[in-house]
Structure 1
């Protein structure tokens, strides 16, 4: 179960690196507009806000990678759990305030990783 949890945590981290790239560097392009359901004008008007949001997604990814590679397994577990919970809370909030699909796209992988992580550390 430990390997499964590590894979799931890594996938959540990679997903957030991808979101960082979309929001910070590709926000005004067609891929980001399609992913986030925005218009060209909206993307132009909110470019700096999206870059800031992307930076936060990068912090989530960095925290998850930090937890995965930390040499102290107990502290690494705590880091992973904390950052996964942050992703889960953000997904719930985002699904309520922005787009319902966020709960599935970001929340489900985070909640699955939390479950695997906790089970692997019982």
Structure 2
């Protein structure tokens, strides 16, 4: 995916108050792994210091804090105010389980189809 297409994707998913769109937005702005974003809680988002805490999924040392531009943090905050958050403060709990890779991939594939980009995965 080109940088121009990457920016289009970011704009496409920004400010849409649904889990799949927010999920892709966080993937784009952090470069995180699927499992790291899937487990995010509201406690992992620091709107004062503009950081996101990514809890390691592969090793203990993969636990890290990522700096995020303030504009992107504003988008997150604005989007999250329109979304329900469960009692465990998990961003991506559907009510039954954590959001699936398939649910998020469908949004990415829709974007790629609409923009004639070919087939991309969340890992690409």
| TM-score class normalised by the smaller sequence | under 0.3
| TM-score normalised according to structure 1 size | 0.27
Per residue, is there more helix in 1 or in 2? 1
Higher RCO (CA-CA < 8 Å; seq separation 6+):
1
| TM-score normalised according to structure 2 size | 0.27
